[in-house]
Structure 1
Amino acid sequence: MGQSIAGICVNNGFDTDGFDLGRELELEWKFQKKVSAETAFERHKKKGVYDVCFLENVTLILTELETGIWGRTSENMEVFSFVIQESTMTFSFKWSLNSKFEQRYFRVENDVVDDEVSIGEPLPIENLYKDYADLIEAQIKKTTGFSLIDFSDKEFYRFKWVGSEKLLQDIEYALRSGYFYKYMDSRLISSYTPEEQIRLFEIFHQYALENKVDVYHYMTLGNSEGIIPVETVFKSNYQGVIRILLENPETESVVKRYYTTKQTDWLFGIDPTDEKFYNKVLNDHLKTEENFIQNIEELKEEKKDKKWWEFWK
């Protein structure tokens, strides 16, 4: 029957929880269990199943054939994706170095290279081998420092593709990924438990204090290219969790420890032209250490000194 294997190898080590590796290669997966090398190297792996060997400075991911063909790249490290299917003489070779795009790619079907999908100039190693299986195994060793046989006695961790929606239901994942500083998502926030929403509020509040975010002022929605400033994304999510907590009699007291009714009314009915009321609200019963903007006039002067393009930074 010949050899049948597909995978991705990276010349970098990662924690075995798979978080950083998944983020680096855009694999929305979740850990399932540890498996033996014998299980990891089995033929006909199911779609969405990944068996990963984590070593100190290299990583090998064994996948099903489709993932091996499409492969992955990284702007930060060397990545080699491959397929060896000797029964049909199908091979795939995809290599990149510190690039989001493959720098060398070719696919072989029925022992014939498909020139229409080939990318990049041949690598020097390609001239050393006539057999595609031998070439791919040699590139695996060049990328990782190990041959496939060297991985045959190692421990593997099985992950399964679950998608971003399911991953984000775990608030620990959402926080660790910085999701709420990149995307507005009040729907996701509302799906969390009251305890998790309170935790989000406390984290957001601390972030606003430490970064002197003026949560009371109106938000800039985006520039001509549709790029929304990080501060606007944060404010939207922060105000979203405040609104949710206020609507729940069991959690509204958490918000009221930091905000007066006048202030929360302002947050959800901002009139950017009413600066007199804005200044009054800003300082309404706030403790000095909790006042995000100590001097609104200084803020205005700072903004006046900026060029128009600096407002998007």
Structure 2
Amino acid sequence: MGLNIAGIAINKSYKEDVSTIESMLGHQLLFEKEVPFEEACESFKEDSYCDIYFSENSTFILCDMERAGFEFILEEQDVFSFVLSEMTMTFCINYVKNGKLVRTIVEAEDELHEDEGTPLEFEKTEDDKSEIIYYLIEKTIGKSFDDIDLEATCKRYTFQSLQQSDTTETNGSKKPWWKFW
């Protein structure tokens, strides 16, 4: 069946500053419980919660595919949002470096729907989008996806609407990753 996950990787730990993550996502986060990383990697996560793995130097949010299909900007941070669905062969890549969007790729069933920004150095030797996703996870959080201990603790948060908005804000003119037409 393959891996079907989506998430947001940030090159800074926000363990002590969850409010920044709330602002970025446009939702308050209500702590629910701790779960192992293996459970956090469940396929097709519901849109009512997310699981967050905090390392010493990074934050790795595992969330629903719709939410992770957008780019997220944090000033002076690298933020990588992605959708990896091996079942549907859908891949979405949004890579923000130092607060600036530098690369966007959307591919579904071997058809490229969006390709913006300068190709990354890694893309010169690898065109498999899932490998690009694994590469950018490691580049952003400083650890390979496969090297994260399956028993590592993640915090599960449910989404609560903020007063100003209950949706993720984007750059207005950008289409969500699932709207290919």
C-alpha displacement of 1:98: 2.1
Q: Give the 3-state SS of the residue equivalent to 1:28 in structure 2.
A: strand
Instruction: Say if 2:4 and 2:85, in contact at 8 Å, map to a contact too.
Output: yes
Q: How does 1:15-164 map to 2 (within 5 A)?
A: 15-16=15-16, 18-99=18-99, 101-114=100-113, 117-151=114-148, 152-164=150-162
The structure where strand makes up a greater share of residues is 2
Gaps of 5+ in 1: 167-313
- Measured in 2, the distance between the counterparts of 1:128 and 1:27 equals 38
Written as runs of structure 1 = structure 2, the 5 A alignment for 1:200-211 is none
Distance 1:24 1:77 in 2: 12
**Alpha-carbon spacing, 1:28–1:118, altered in 2? closer, same or farther (3 Å):** farther
| DSSP-derived class of the 2:87 partner | coil
Count of equivalent residues: 163
- Paired-residue identity, %: 31
Shift of 1:89: 1.0
Residue pair 2:8, 2:60 contacting (<8 A) in 1 also: yes
* 4+ aligned runs moved over 6 Å, structure 1: none
The answer (yes or no) to whether the contact 2:71–2:101 under 8 Å persists in 1 is no
Deviations 1:154-182 (A, max 9, x none): 1100111111139xxxxxxxxxxxxxxxx
Q: Indicate the structure (1 or 2) with the bigger Cα radius of gyration.
A: 1
CA RMSD, Structure 1 to Structure 2 (Å): 1.9
Instruction: Decide whether the 8 Å contact of 1:30 with 1:161 is kept in 2.
Output: yes
| Residue ranges of structure 2 left out of the alignment (5+ in a row) | 165-181
Against the structure 1 CA distance between its residues 25 and 75, is the aligned structure 2 distance closer, same or farther, given a 3 Å change threshold? farther
Between the aligned partners of 2:152 and 2:16, the Cα distance in structure 1 is 13
TM-score when scaled to structure 1? 0.49
TM-score (norm 2): 0.82
**Given residue 40 of structure 1, which amino acid in structure 2 is its aligned partner?**
A
Higher helix share: 1
Give the deviation of 1:67 after TM superposition: 1.2
